[in-house]
Amino acid sequence: MGRLGGKVAIITGATSGIGLRTAEVFMAEGARLIIAGRRIAEGEALAKALGPDCIFRQTDVTVEDQVKALTALAVDKFGRLDCIFNNAGGPAQTGGIEGLEVERFDLAMATLVRSVMLGMKHAAPIMRKQGFGSIINNGSIAGRLAGFSSSMVYGAAKAAVIHLTKCVAMELGEAGVRVNSISPGAIATGIFAKALGLTVEAAENTPPVMREVYKSAQPIPRAGLPDDIAYAAVFLASDESTFINGHDLVVDGAITGGRNWTQQQQGYVALRKAFDGNKGT
């Protein structure tokens, strides 16, 4: 039996990227799954590939009735809900503050923040009644520090997700329900390309480019992979983390830790040369 043997989980945004890989890893670890997304063909294909213990439900996670139906489906089909990974999201408008459009701002907040709120709202009564459960929200290092997203709106939304996670953790922890977030660093998925205007189809072909671009961005000499987030989610969904609540698990290869060692040392070399060049002045 795997680390999630006997557990029932919902994964939103499961038709690509981090959500898709997390669904595969959760299934390999023994979970029964409800996977959600907006793209029917991709969702049904994934459910078929993962087998009879995986059910796909087309869901717009910004619509409350659809999220409520999604959580109810887990109980109807499998009798319980052990974990929900509120992973669904998307890019937000890029550019400076003066060019932001209110409609696009509101849409991003609905996709990135309202969806998480709804997932927690409708998982909470089920898990509270059970006396256990793990809620996992997808944050971002862009929600912890400015300058780590092409979109300030995205960063602000993810900051809201991280703090909302902590607020809800303080409430639901009293009922035995844990609420945590994962903040990915530079993960090689198509979301960066989507933010810069590529079509969904074109963006899905860009992860190899991302792996090359970000292989030296952090001390770990490779870009982050969907696997890195998937296994972090396995840990938070499993019984290995039953005393972890209200925590934002940063998975970024230390890109937010500070300046890379080699970069720092090269800076000192350049500074020494500048000093030497000014000895006679």
List pLDDT tens digits, range 86-135: 999 999 999 999 999 999 999 999 999 999 999 999 999 999 999 999 99
**According to the model, what pLDDT value does residue 192 have?**
67
Question: Which tokens go with 201?
Answer: 């189809």
CA distance 108 to 106: 5
Question: Hey, what amino acid is at 11?
Answer: I
Residue-wise pLDDT for 147-159, tens only, equals 999 999 999 999 9
pLDDT, mean of residues 204-227: 87
- Residue (of 248, 233, 193) closest to 18 by Cα position: 233
Given this model, what pLDDT does residue 200 score?
Answer: 74
Whole-number pLDDT of residue 207: 79
Alpha-helix residue ranges (DSSP H) falling in 131-241: 152-172, 191-195, 200-203, 207-213, 226-237
Tell me 14's DSSP state.
T
* CB-CB neighbours of 262 under 10 Å: 10
Q: Average pLDDT of 166-174?
A: 98
Average pLDDT over residues 214-218: 88
Q: Which amino acid is at 177?
A: V
pLDDT in the model for residue 276:
82
Q: In the predicted model, is pLDDT for residue 197 greater than 90? A: no
Q: Does position 170 have pLDDT exceeding 60, yes or no?
A: yes
In sequence order, which residues have a C-beta less than 8 Å from that of residue 1 and are 6 or more positions away? 30
pLDDT in tens, 16-42: 999 999 999 999 999 999 999 999 999
User: Is 181's pLDDT higher than 80?
Assistant: yes
Q: Kindly list the catalytic residues.
A: 154
CATH topology of domain 8-277: Rossmann fold (3.40.50)
Q: Are 134 and 178 in contact (CB under 8 A)?
A: yes
